[in-house]
Amino acid sequence: MPKPGGPLGATEGRRAVVAAALLLVALVILSLRDVDGPSLGLESIAIMSALFAELAVLCAGVLFYVHWRIGLDQTKAWLATAVVAFGLQGLNWFVLVLGTGPRPADHAAWIASYQIVTTLGLCLLIVRSEHLQVRQDPLVAGVLLGLVVTTGRAILLQLPLSAPSEAVYTSVVLGLVLIGALNTIALARFRAFSPWLRRRLCATTLLLGLGQAAAFPQNAPSWLTGVSICSNVVGAAILAFAAFGLARRSIQDEAEAVAVLQHRLQRAEMGHHDDQARLHELRTTVAGLSSATRLMHHHSGIGRLRRSQLEQMMEAELDRMTRLMAGRSAAPPEQVDLDSALEPIVVRHLATGSRISWMRTGATALGRADHIAEIVSILLTNAQRHAARGDVELAVRTVPGWTEIVVSDAGPGIDRGLRHRIFEWGGQGPMSTGQGIGLAAARVLSDDLDGYLRLDEQDGPGATFVLGLPTAEEALRDRARTS
């Protein structure tokens, strides 16, 4: 994401200038057209521009508040407070200065002096923010502070003050310009803000200070009123777009942080699921090996062929367990002899007392032997558990481009309300004694093999699961379509 001093800052600067120029053009056009009589005139433009400026400052304060709420930077909290307070009291200031409210001549200089103190105080609040603790909501504090300043100005208007001399009046006008310059210097030296933000705050402070000073003199020439209009509009636009840029960048950073956390959570969850699936398969395999061991040691009537099958199965399954504990292979799929992959699984399940019907077919498919064995083991375990130890049929068939391994049982079947989530993690029926791990893990493994695993729709009892694995010809066609 662009840094504040880079392209993002330049873009927002151009936007501020364009927005200010468009608003000034709109105000000029509005002043020249007839509205039930004569044109609005320069004074009306000054009032509207001042109103826009203070509303823009208030909006900037709210955007600074949004930026603080995300980053919780102490200095940004007091910046939001000061800007909101300045915008709120500024509405009252311009009401008095531009003549839309009571402005006794005897109080004019005192009102300007009060504005000098107010502007200085709000600037000090910003530059001393590193040493001030945030004990309340900045937005609420800014509103309350603005109301306090406005109330103080209202009290000042009620005091019996005498009119100052012309020299004092001139000094106050110069003071408005000077305080803007001093505040600009103070903000430029405040290193807690980035250079990007300092430049915009300095420009805003200087322009709004100039706009206040140019608006203050009574019966001011047209050019001075024009200076006030331009300064207020441009200064407020710069501040508003700077606040918008900070708020937008904070929201983007927050969204990126949330996305990173979600990605890490997903990876952790996937890792947790993978560990659970491996543990599930290891438990099932150990149970089968334990049954085979007891069968070999406690049943002396086992024939030599049967004993040889059990020994070969135990050796193959122990090797597979070792590879499974080390982590599943990510090697590319290869041509797999399905008889060799399935036989140890069938023998192991037979050793636990399952009744499985299976015949060697000599079929092959693209895949990984360990993955295929694990999927079929899960399907056989699932059939054995839900078929009440009934007959289970394991068959291999070919369809155009695919080799399918079919596991069918004669149990009660799967409830229709559960079928849509049978492959979801934790998806299990109310009467199930499992954990909802096996079928979800089997679906993940089938996807990893570029195959499919589905539950066939059928009439009558029982359930049929189909594992589809691509043939070499299908893989070649798929690569050709991809290229």
What pLDDT, in 10s, does the model give residues 50-74? 888 888 999 999 999 999 999 888 9
Residues in a beta bridge with 336 = 365
Three-state secondary structure call for residue 406: strand
Q: Domain boundary residue among 211, 242, 262?
A: 262
pLDDT tens for 398-430 read 988 899 999 998 887 777 777 777 888 765 554
Pair (313, 245) in one structural domain = no
Q: Quote the DSSP letter at residue 335.
A: E
| 210 shares its domain with 352 | no
Higher per-residue confidence, 470 vs 162? 470
Residues 193 and 250 in one domain: yes
Residue 179 is assigned to a structural domain of this protein: yes
**Which residues 6+ apart lie within 8 Å of 327 measured at CB?**
none
- Taking the C-alpha atoms of residue 236 and residue 383, their distance in angstroms, rounded to an integer, is 73
pLDDT over 80 (residue 44): no
Same domain, 92 and 155: yes
Within a domain: 270: no
Domain limit, last residue, from 262, 289, 316 = 262
47 and 139: one domain? Answer: yes
Beta strands 355-357; 391-399: pairing state: parallel
In angstroms, how far is CA 201 from the centroid of its own chain?
29
Residue 173 identity:
V
Query: Is pLDDT above 60 for 10?
Result: no
Domain housing 161: 7-262
Determine what percent of the chain is predicted with pLDDT higher than 70: 81
Same domain, 249 and 312: no
Q: What is the pLDDT of residue 37?
A: 45
| The pLDDT of residue 105 is above 80 | no
Q: Which residues contact 17 (CB under 8 A, 6 or more apart)?
A: 234, 237
Q: Quick one: pLDDT at residue 432? A: 52
- 374 and 440 Cβ atoms separated by less than 8 Å: no
Cα separation of 68 and 75, whole Å?
9
Decide if 278 is inside a domain. no
Return the amino acid letter for 472: A
Mean pLDDT of 385-406: 85
Q: pTM of the full predicted structure? A: 0.62
Q: Assign 434 a pLDDT band (cuts: 50, 70, 90).
A: low
One domain, residues 308 and 258: no
**Structure tokens of 201?**
């705050």
Q: What is the spatial distance between Cα 25 and Cα 30, in angstroms, rounded to a whole number?
A: 8
Residues 258 and 303 in one domain: no
pLDDT at 370 over 60: yes
Of 262, 288, 315, the residue at which a domain comes to its end is 262
Q: Is 222 exposed, middle or buried (0-12, 13-18, 19+ CB in 10 A)?
A: exposed
- The total domain count for the chain is 2
75: confidence class by pLDDT, cuts 50, 70, 90: very high
Q: Checking phi first, is residue 254 left (phi over 0); if not, alpha (psi -120 to 50) or beta?
A: alpha
Per-residue model confidence as pLDDT tens digits over 155-205: 887 887 776 677 777 788 788 888 888 999 999 999 999 998 999 999 999
8 Å CB contact between 119 and 177: no
Residues 364 and 243 in one domain: no
Q: Is residue 201 part of a domain?
A: yes
Shared domain for 11 and 149, answered yes or no, is yes
CATH of the domain at 420: 3.30.565.10
Residue 103 lies in a domain: yes
Instruction: Indicate the average pLDDT of the chain.
Output: 80
Q: Check whether residue 459 and residue 320 sit in a common domain.
A: yes
**pLDDT, position 159:** 81
pLDDT, tens digit, for every residue of 253-269?
Answer: 888 988 888 888 877 77
139 within domain boundaries: yes
Q: Are residues 33 and 113 in the same domain?
A: yes
Question: Would residue 166 count as lying in a domain?
Answer: yes
In a domain, 478, yes or no: yes
